[in-house]
Every structure is written in structure tokens, then in C-alpha cells.
Structure 1
């Protein structure tokens, strides 16, 4: 099992003046202790369960470009990109650029978007649910075409590309890995089976059933279920003096038994590097054996 870290809280003690120092320190330490993936949110306002909208939030792909420059090994992604916030051709170009500049460490993490408040606030597109899922699927098709050998036009219901040219191409071939976030049983998990290299599901009592539904979609589409990496995002807080470590390890072992291969720790306060030190010393060496 692998462990990733999600940087979602940028309201740090020093404020915006310390962002550069804090981000670099946290990212390098995460890499040093063995974290496999480092992610940021694709939000423009802070989200409710972390803080009020007015709290600091950095734009995802600008931040990932900076993280690429200060790290060497850790994989980088938005967890997850709101498909409707960017035109698909530009999104494919952004992820390709991140892959090139990071020497092959970019992922495309993507979902249908959910935060209407921030979208309306900054004038970002936020169509009805059904249309957002249609646009998500077309975005996946466009990205995959742009990462292929074809620069032919693309004609969809919502997007039209006159020439799907992408130069330079991504370092990772045939393309940067694709992770689709969400557990919707009819649409999201079907798209995982059809297009993705990884899924991301909630750590909940429904997890095993969601994985069974993903398996059913794979059987219907002729996809090998085992070729899809199963990821779960959940809080990993070692607690004072690591008092929560044993309980965390027991839970991660249960997730591994269900087939989960990557656990992503959500909501890490980037100024709390003491958490990362405990994770590196006491959690990562153990889960590497799962």
C-alpha cells in the first residue's frame, strides 16, 4: 500500500508571506519520508469542512508547477480537477506541461465538480448535474486523444476542437495516469472502468459495495478490474506523540484487505510537518508491507 498527502489548508501561521517557504519545506519532507503522491484541491475558495470561503486558497495548477520545481520523485496531481472549470484542450495542455516539467510525475485527477458557490462567485461554469457528467466524459475523451498520435478534430455535444494538437507530448506514455474521483454508481464508476487508471472512493461502510459495482462495470466493458488502482481519501492524524498510530495501521490493513492500494491523507495542514515525520517513521514502513 502507498500513502499520499493532500494539501488543502493554506491558512498557515505566517500567512501568505510564508507560502513559498512552507510549501517547499512540506513538499520536500513528504518526499523524503516516502510519500508517493502530493495533491492540492482544485478549488478557488476554501471548502466548508476545512474553513470559511475567505480563508486562503491557491490555484491548483500554478501550485503544482511550483511543487514540481522543488521536488524530484513525488507524483503530483489535483485531487480532483473540476472538469467544467477549464476547456478540455487547455486542461490537457496544463497536465502535459506539468508532466514535462516534472520529468514524468503528473497525474490527471478529475471529477464532475460540485462547488456551486465558488463557481457562481467567480463566474466559473457550473451547468446542471447531467451536463457536468457529459462534459466530464468528453473531457476524458479529448485528453486521451490529445495524448495519442491523433491530432484530428474532435466533435462532441459540448466541445469542438478543430485540431487536437499537443506538442510537446507527455513524458509518460501513452499518457499521464488518470484518476477519477467519486462513487456515483451509474456514471462515475462506469467512466472509471472505461477511461481511468485509478478511482478514488470515500472511506465509508459502502466502500466494499462500490468496489463490487466497479467490478461489474469492468466485466460489462471488458476491462480488467485489477488494472485499476483503488484509492481512498481519509484523515491520517497520528495524534500527540503518535498515540493514534496503532489504530490507523489497523484500519489501513482492513482497507488493504479490500484491495485498496493507495490511501490519501486529506486536509493536512501544511505547517504541521511533525505529522509527516511520524507518518514517515511509523506508518509508511508498515504499510509498505501490506
Structure 2
């Protein structure tokens, strides 16, 4: 099992002028202590589950580009991109650029998006429930076509592209990996079954059910479910009441359910101390599972 550090709270990084150096130190430490991946949330305002919307929030792909320059091996992605926030051709180009400039470390993490207040507040495209799923599938198809080398037009219901020319092509072979994230057991997991290299769900008590539903969706589309990596989101808190031992028990639970990578935010990440504890007490242990 592997750990991925997820960044979703920038409120502990100090004043704006301090945030870049702090993030650079955090990313380097995460890489040094053995985190396999580094993900950032794709929001523009802070969400209510984490804090107040006025708290600091950084744009995801600009942040990933900055962190790429301060790391050399850790894989980089959003968890997850809101599918309507960027035109599909632009999104494919962004991920391609990140992949090329990092030597093949970029993922496309993507979902439907859900924060209508944020989207409408900043004038970003949004849609109803069905429309967001339709747009997500078209976006996946467009990115896959861009990464295939084809420059043919795309005439979808929601997006029309005169050409999917994409030069240079990604470094990752055969293309950047795709992670589809979200809680929907029917439509989200069906899209994961059709297009994704990995799926991501919340690692709570119903996480095992999500794996069962993924198997069913794979059967529906005629794909081997073992081709899809199971990943979960779960907080990496080593300073709470249960400490590192309690976290290890939860990670073992997820491992035994079939998850192989856990993405997690570290609470109050204002320094690298908790990352170092994770690197000394947790990552070596789960690496043997």
C-alpha cells in the first residue's frame, strides 16, 4: 500500500508571501519521506467541510506546476478536477504540459464537480446533474483523443472541437493516467469502469461497497476490474487521539478491502513534523502489505 499527500487547506501556511516557500518545503518533505503522490483540491473558494469560504485557496494546476519545480519523483494530480471548470481541449493541454515538463509524473484526476455556489460566484460553467455527467464523459473522450495523436474533429453534444491537435504528446506511456473520483455508485463508477486507470472514493465504512459496485460496473462494460486501481481518501492524522497506531488500523482496514493507495490530508499542516512521523512510522509499515 502507498500513501498520497492531499493538500486541501492552505490556511496554516502563513501570509501570502510565505505560502510558496512553505508549500515547497512540504512537497520536498513528502517526496523525501516516501509519499508516492501529491494531490491538490480543485476549488477556488474553501469548502464548508474544511473551513470558511474566505480562507485561502490556490488554483490547482498553477499550484501543481509550482510544486513540480520543487520535486523530482512524486506523482502530481488534482483530487479531483471539476469537469466543467476548464474546456476539455484546454484541460487536455494543461495535463499534457504538466506531464511533459515533469517527465511523466502527471495524472488527470477528474469528477463531475459539485460546488455550484463557487462556480456561479466566479462565472464558471456549471450544469445540472445529468449535464455534468454528460460533460464529464465527453471531456474524458476528448482528452483520450488528444493523447492518441489524432487531430480529428469532435462533435459532441456539449463540446465541439475543430481539431484535437496536441503537440507535444505526453511523456507518459501510453498517456497520462486517469483517476475518476466521486461517490456515485452507478454513473461515476461506470465512467471509471469505461475510462479510468484508478477510482477514488471516501474511505469510510461503505468503502468496501464501492469496490463491489465497481466490479459490477466493469462487468456491465466488459472490462476486467483488476485493471483499475482502487484508491481511497482518508485523513492522515497522527496527532489525534488514536495516533499513528490508530491510523495504521484504518489503513489496514482499507488494505484488506482491496485499496492500494490512500490519499489523505494532514490536519493543520503548518510544518513538516507530521509528514516526518508518517515517513518514519506509517509508510515503512504499509509498504510491506
Settle same-fold status: TM greater than 0.5: yes
Q: Secondary structure at the match of 2:148?
A: coil
- 2-structure distance, mates of 1:166, 1:189: 28
Q: Find the counterpart in structure 2 of residue 250 from structure 1.
A: 249
Corresponding position: 1:264 with 2:251 = no
By how many angstroms is 1:243 displaced? 5.6
Cα contact 1:8–1:268 (8 A) shared by 2: no
By how many angstroms is 1:74 displaced? 0.4
Q: Find the counterpart in structure 2 of residue 121 from structure 1.
A: 121
Deviation digits for residues 48-92 of structure 1 (CA, Å, limit 9, x no counterpart): 121111111110001100111110010000110000001000000
- 1-structure distance, mates of 2:142, 2:100: 19
The gaps in structure 1 that reach 5 residues or longer are: none
Q: Find the counterpart in structure 1 of residue 72 from structure 2.
A: 72
By how many angstroms is 1:143 displaced? 0.3
Cα contact 1:6–1:268 (8 A) shared by 2: no
Q: Find the counterpart in structure 2 of residue 289 from structure 1.
A: 288
Cα contact 1:22–1:270 (8 A) shared by 2: no
Alignment of 1:80-119 (within 5 A): 80-119=80-119
By how many angstroms is 1:13 displaced? 5.0
Q: Find the counterpart in structure 1 of residue 232 from structure 2.
A: 232
Cα contact 2:237–2:266 (8 A) shared by 1: no
Q: Find the counterpart in structure 1 of residue 140 from structure 2.
A: 140
Deviation digits for residues 81-113 of structure 1 (CA, Å, limit 9, x no counterpart): 000001000000000000011111000000000
By how many angstroms is 1:14 displaced? 2.3
Q: Secondary structure at the match of 2:247?
A: helix
Cα contact 1:39–1:79 (8 A) shared by 2: yes
Q: Find the counterpart in structure 2 of residue 210 from structure 1.
A: 210
Deviation digits for residues 193-245 of structure 1 (CA, Å, limit 9, x no counterpart): 000000001112221121111101111212111110000001111016x9611
TM-score by length of 1: 0.97
Q: Find the counterpart in structure 2 of residue 43 from structure 1.
A: 43
Deviation digits for residues 6-65 of structure 1 (CA, Å, limit 9, x no counterpart): 111111252111011101100000000000110111110011121111111110001100
Q: Secondary structure at the match of 1:147?
A: helix
Corresponding position: 1:178 with 2:178 = yes
Corresponding position: 1:222 with 2:222 = yes
Cα contact 1:8–1:267 (8 A) shared by 2: no
Cα contact 2:13–2:22 (8 A) shared by 1: no
Q: How many residues align?
A: 289
- 1-structure distance, mates of 2:272, 2:24: 11
Structure 1 outlier segments of 4+, above 3 Å: 267-270
By how many angstroms is 1:268 displaced? 4.3
Deviation digits for residues 172-210 of structure 1 (CA, Å, limit 9, x no counterpart): 021100000012122100000000000001112221121
- 2-structure distance, mates of 1:206, 1:250: 16
Q: Secondary structure at the match of 2:265?
A: strand
By how many angstroms is 1:149 displaced? 2.5
- 1-structure distance, mates of 2:82, 2:182: 12
TM-score by length of 2: 0.97
- 2-structure distance, mates of 1:141, 1:276: 37
Corresponding position: 1:9 with 2:43 = no
- 1-structure distance, mates of 2:109, 2:251: 22
